[in-house]
Amino acid sequence: MPHPTTLPVAPICFEPRYHTRVWGGRRLETTLGRVLPNDQPYGESWELADRPDCQSLVTTGPLAGCTLNELWLQHRRAVFGERLAHHPSPRFPLLIKVLDCGGDLSIQVHPPAAIAPTLGGEPKSEMWYFVGVEPGAQLYAGLRRGVTREEFARALEAGSLADCVCALEPARGDSLMVPSGRLHALGAGLLVFEIQQNSDTTYRVFDWNRVGLDGQPRQLHVKESLQCIDFADFEPAIHLAAAGNPLAECDHFRVDRRTDATADLAPGLRLIMAIDPLTWAGVQIPAGSVALWPAGLPPATPIRGGAWLEITI
């Protein structure tokens, strides 16, 4: 990688990686203008990923072709800054996606940090920012108030689990924090930006009795789920668009909504996800895309064109 002083004063952009899902759709194409590989239902676009089986590639400037893992391991101080130079993670600590929910996702849970190692998984807390919401679209998050573990188990056996989970109806611009241990499911008709810990561990507790794209029933993880669900997590509230920043905050990340009228030019790393098509130092950032301003460059130039999510590690 070139020395940071030789880099062009411009953001680093990344190539999205697309994933088919049984619940996916085509709005990555119809709404975001992406060119999808084929006519299958695409549910996820991984915009920034450092996973063993999925690496983001730099698409701009002299760093083009570098993987996110190479940036993190070999050039961490220059790209990500002094504050993250000694971060303990061997991989970039976040995973950022766009989700197109053409159908309901499974009712699922991610393992808390204290439990994940015993199950052979990785902990994951995440947040959702709702970009598109079709009329009547809803999500599930947390339990309905008063539901006990015993009632939950009986509903699971009876196939009526949805009756135990809190249903919420978001609007465009709303957001929701989903800490590990929170039972949840996105519903059909939602287009979502997701910022999460770098983990791909999901335990499905109920999948609407459907089959996968291969025609076979999808694997459930009932035993693991029951160990992970927070049975004291009742009826969480959506963070309304009008409520302001931060949209979400936990030990791993903070997410704020910014516009060209509210941003500053502070030095150091800046990581953004475009809500609207943006222009940053002459580089076009399409909606849904992630861009990074290296810490080793002078303070970032202004972003123009609309709104974005500002992500702090």
Q: Which residues are tagged catalytic? A: 204
Contact 283, 13 (CB under 8 A): yes
Contact 256, 247 (CB under 8 A): yes
Phi and psi for 164 in degrees, rounded to 5?
A: -95, -15
Residue type, 203: Y
Residue type, 311: I
From the list 46, 40, 48, the residue with the least C-alpha distance to 22 is 40
C-alpha distances in Å from residue 53, one per residue of 39, 246, 261? 23, 32, 39
Could you tell me which residues come within 8 angstroms of residue 185 by beta carbon, excluding any fewer than 6 positions away?
Answer: 104, 105, 106, 107, 108, 139, 140, 165
Give the up-direction half-sphere exposure of residue 56: CA atoms within 13 A in the CB hemisphere.
30
What is the distance between the alpha carbons of residues 276 and 129, in angstroms, rounded to a whole number? 13
Tokens of 115: 């439990």
What is the distance between the alpha carbons of residues 129 and 47, in angstroms, rounded to a whole number? 14
C-alpha distances in Å from residue 265, one per residue of 188, 218, 232? 39, 47, 42
Residue type, 212: G
Tokens of 220: 């459930």
